Amino acid sequence: MPSHDYLKKILTARVYDVARETELEPAHNLSARLGNPIFLKREDNQPVFSFKVRGAYNKMAHLPASALARGVITASAGNHAQGVALSAARLGVKAVIVVPVTTPQLKVDAVRAHGGPTVEVVQHGESYSDAYAHALELQEAEGLTFVHPFDDPYVIAGQGTVAMEILRQHQGPVHAIFVPIGGGGLAAGVAAYVKAVRPEIKVIGVQTEDSCAMAQSLKAGQRVTLPEVGLFSDGTAVKLVGEETFRLCQAYLDEVLTVDTDALCAAIKDVFQDTRSVLEPAGALAVAGAKLYAGRSRIQQQTLIAVTSGANMNFDRMRFVAERAEVGEAREAIFAVTIPEERGSFRRFCELIGTRSVTEFNYRIADAQAAHLFVGVQIKNRDESAQIAQTFEAHHFATVDLTGDELSKQHIRYMVGGRSPLAHDERLFRFEFPERPGALMMFLSSMAPHWNISLFHYRNQGADYSSILVGMQVPGADHEAFERFIASLGYPCWEETANPVYRLFLA
């Protein structure tokens, strides 16, 4: 279908019975940091917290009465399912919705809530593609009409109304519009409309590195099926893009960028700081892409628009997002550092960190000759981690920069420790103190040199107070002097030596 036909379909799309015209909102903090005006197209503010309701309703509103009477079926990673459910409730039709078993429970519950008694939810497979194949089987068996989440002209046209609103809301110069891509319906609709009306504006798709079917397909010149997809950005976890969406993206998209999980987490934090709203990972893709593009192209004072496509975030994921956002924004560097197991080396190492804010400090005595530290340090830019590593090495502390290492960020940082045959006479204490720059170094400098530190764990979680776990080797004859030392520190303190968890895993 030519672009001008999509222009007509978008201009005549029926979406506003259920959807609303969302805000085009300036992101002031992000704009100041990037040196370019950044605007967010707030599709996360739709009634189903996603743009997907546009395409779903437009498709269903154009079905003949006989098809509606039989009912509809769809497959979805979650957001399209909610759009179909709400549309089915509004039109009074039966809907069967197949979602992967990996779909967040928040989205499954929302589908049932929006659809009511006429909607049946079926969970099948681990990705959208698995759910899609099962939905086709059910469609044939039950005689239902399939409402495709992306590969349908009416669905694409419904999503294209996002671009129609953007160009009406911002009639001045626009350098680029960034859109997330899963199956490609939003990108196809936006690109088709923009290139028909304002062809000078770039339309740039954004995908995750582990779910980049469109990027690989465009590079290959044909649709490519991914063997596996990453599930963090569940809303775009698509193994095979649509035929029609591929054709339109191939014709009208300027490029497709890919970003990693850390960049997504950083983008979620950026949007929160500007709007106090929490996007889902797929909803933050366009923002992550805009940041990557602005940094790579070194443009200045060019208007960039990012479609924040969804906010169906599981609350339980927020801890992971907060943890990884600092790395994604190049605000945290992580190192494995080996220091001599001798008196004073721990303090010498801390002096090298200086006034930098420490985000994490893990240590467990394990070897009579050397100690291994897992350290996180707040940084200002990506190049700083290499400079810090060079400083450690220059002072004869063997260092491995783990900032880009997925194993370390995901698992190893939580596994540092364990029992040690060298940790004799160990007493365990938990301290709390107000979190401020240099607070950790002040704490360490107050540690008397008379007793060896055998365990240390600190993690700055962004709270007003930090909690530190310290193991110190104190011979029985020194207990009285040690008690006086602890009292002199002036920090709230709890001894955990008798804690059964410590006895089970560390003592």
Q: Could you confirm whether 233 is annotated as catalytic? A: no
Q: What gap in Å lies between CA 491 and CA 472, rounded to an integer?
A: 16
Annotated active-site residue in 87, 217, 277, 309? 309
Q: What gap in Å lies between CA 409 and CA 394, rounded to an integer?
A: 25
CA geometry: angle at 204 spanning 201 and 205, to 5°?
Answer: 150
Q: CA 111 → CA 14, 87, 172, 295, distances in Å?
A: 21, 11, 38, 38
Whether the Cβ atoms of residue 63 and residue 72 lie closer than 8 Å to each other: yes
Q: Which two three-digit tokens encode residue 333? A: 């560097």
Whether the Cβ atoms of residue 8 and residue 24 lie closer than 8 Å to each other: no
Name the DSSP class of 22. P
Q: Which two three-digit tokens encode residue 217? A: 């397909």
Residues with Cβ < 8 Å from 450, sequence gap 6 or more? Answer: 478, 481, 485
Is residue 197 classed as helix, strand or coil in its secondary structure?
helix
Number of C-beta neighbours around residue 50 at 10 A:
29
Please state whether 384 falls in left (phi above 0), alpha (psi between -120 and 50) or beta.
Answer: alpha
Whether the Cβ atoms of residue 36 and residue 304 lie closer than 8 Å to each other: yes
Residues with Cβ < 8 Å from 112, sequence gap 6 or more? Answer: 85, 119, 121
Whether the Cβ atoms of residue 493 and residue 468 lie closer than 8 Å to each other: no
Q: Could you confirm whether 309 is annotated as catalytic? A: yes
Q: CA 268 → CA 34, 186, 250, 274, distances in Å?
A: 16, 20, 28, 10
Rg of the Cα atoms in the chain: 27
Annotated active-site residue in 52, 107, 239, 409? 52
Q: What gap in Å lies between CA 411 and CA 117, rounded to an integer?
A: 43
Q: CA 247 → CA 116, 146, 178, 229, distances in Å?
A: 36, 21, 18, 22
Whether the Cβ atoms of residue 77 and residue 128 lie closer than 8 Å to each other: yes
Residues in the chain: 507
Query: Any idea which residues carry the catalytic annotation?
Result: 52, 309
